Structure 1
Amino acid sequence: MSTVVPLAPEKPSQAVPLAGLNQLLDLAKSRSPDDQHRLLMGVAGLYESAAGHGGAPEALADIFIALTRSAEREIRQVLAQRLAKAEWAPAALVRMLAADEIQIARPVIAASPLLLDDDLLQLLADCSIEHQIQVALRPDLGAAVARAIIAGGDPAVMTALATNRSARIEDASFTVLVNRSRQLAALRAPLTRHPSLNEDLALVLYQWVGEALRQAISDRFTIDPACLSEAAQSAASDTAVAWEAPSASAADESDARLVAKLNAAGQLRPAYLIRALREEKLGVFAHGLAVLGRFEVAQIHRALTGDTARPLFLACIAVGLDRAAFPALLTEIRKLNKGFPRDPDSSAWRLAERSADQAAYEFRLLMADIDAASV
């Protein structure tokens, strides 16, 4: 008597409905943007469905990626929003979207579970400052990526990392950030609030922050008042007396009125800022730069009195001033401004290209908290 061998259970079918395929084929023949959008979303739906039934075929992933690569910007942006938190998407497609222009990449970098530390390190190495800032803001950022950001040394990216309270920053890396905050004022406020700040580093930070942040440190840590007093005295002896931004005065109000009048008449342009400096009108320059860049004039005053010229450089690029003209412009400003802003970073801030929008974003990030201003 022969033995009956039971058949192996069938695997769940990965076949897609014929009607669905036929509809996608019809859409593929159309050049209409709406049809192309429907095609890509249809393929996304097929891939998600197949992934939920044992895995999508590799060929379908290749089709998905090829269609995305040729899709219009608006369609890629919609797709990035859809895939931002998806665990089923092709990892290669997610990496491609993360390296796309920042408006498309941002949701993917911020949330995709498919981006690994190696992918984030590649973005830091290859992509724009805006991409790097978004990597620094990513929730639960790993220690290796945080180390790479600090090693890169870009102030805007490091400041973004300091504001990321869920980032895993090792003690040695956090010490570097605290030490950098002596020259980079924008780091001070976020570091004061960061969970990785310990009592020893708080005492170091206490030496060069303003009164509001000193109070925040005192409220957070139980530090011997004698140690705090010693730190404050050390800071006072090490810090040269800085020129303070002018308070509101008749001259300041007159400068503001002149700039407002020029702006209303359509005569306020970047070239006028250079003219104002040549005429030794630093107040007009400050108000004009604030209006053209849609910045707060207090932020411009802080940039003019800072420990580095980088924020002022970013503000000037944001309003369309030629980066090649900035060294001469900086020389004129220092003549009128008792040597400020200082420039301990030498010419390093001039190396990387910035678009106007990118420069404005970085400027606002660096100048975001008035408590971070120099003592």
Structure 2
Amino acid sequence: EGAPVVVGPSKAGAALEGSKDFAKQFMVRHSIPTARYQSFTAETVEEGCKFLETLKAPYVLKADGLAAGKGVLIIDSLDEAKSSLREMLGGMFGKSSATVVIEEFLKGIECSVFVLTDGNGGYRILPVAKDYKRIGEGDTGPNTGGMGAVSPVVFADKEFMRKVEERIILPTVNGLIAEGITYRGFIFLGLIEVEGEPMVIEYNVRMGDPETEVVMLRIASDLLPLLDAAGRGNLGDMPLAEDPRFATTVMVVSGGYPGSYSKGEIITGAEDAVNAILFHAGTSRTGDGELLTSGGRVIACSAYGKDIDEALANSYAAANTVNFEGKYMRRDIGLDLKKLS
């Protein structure tokens, strides 16, 4: 009824993702736990090199602007970090790296927390997930858009989430209001657990892939009324119930991804996957209905289970049923969490 409702941040709010420098300054202003950092430009490159000397390896360099997910370098050698800083400030990522954020490396295990906010202090915390970004097993090789995800996350227990809400979510939501920034939509918190304490690695201003494919499975409430209420600035006491089951996603990708890969390969078996929900990412259909690959990440094979083992078995059964020339998937999704449980 009435005017259309937009669920998403204002331009000022979107800077939480659009500018790494703004996000880090925001966290410092509101005492939100994050890695030590400083920002540098071409004029201050020598100071940047000196700051690198105060940190321990590995060194984290981030292009301030959006660089298609490729603007973060993690480097083991101090000399290499200095030369990479010079290259980035010299235009490696165009305008995106006119400012570079250098920060200390945090060692721990990561998870993703999504919060739906209504801009007036109302928010709901969505089911917590963990994603797997690198192409190779054991988290090796280049980053991708995401090779799989698991929810819930064993270490994100009640006590951990109490700290997340108290130290990160509340100061973020209240900080946006205090700064006069209208934010009605999803805030993604990329968190790392360092010796039991949550710290923020980054913000995104949207749902994240491939976590969304497990988070959506675990939302038991009807999402549409929640989105409508958030967009209207009135979440009030609307419930967001969680499905108690585990949900997992295994992504099947084109051979060669995230480098060059072929498109137009014939996909078979997608209709035969049982006990799974297939999210099509890089697929297309021919005029006569034949399913073809049309991207690097082809299908997200998502499934429920009473525990992590059953959910993964269902996801992998579907991923094994879907076939096309050059298909690849990671076989170790969720293994690190199984070791913790």
The TM tier, using the shorter chain, reads under 0.3
Structure with the higher fraction of residues in helix conformation = 1
Bigger relative contact order, structure 1 or 2 (CA pairs below 8 A, ≥6 apart): 2
- TM-score, normalised on structure 2? 0.23
When you count strand as a share of all residues, which structure comes out higher? 2
| Rg larger in structure | 1
Structure 1 length-normalised TM? 0.22
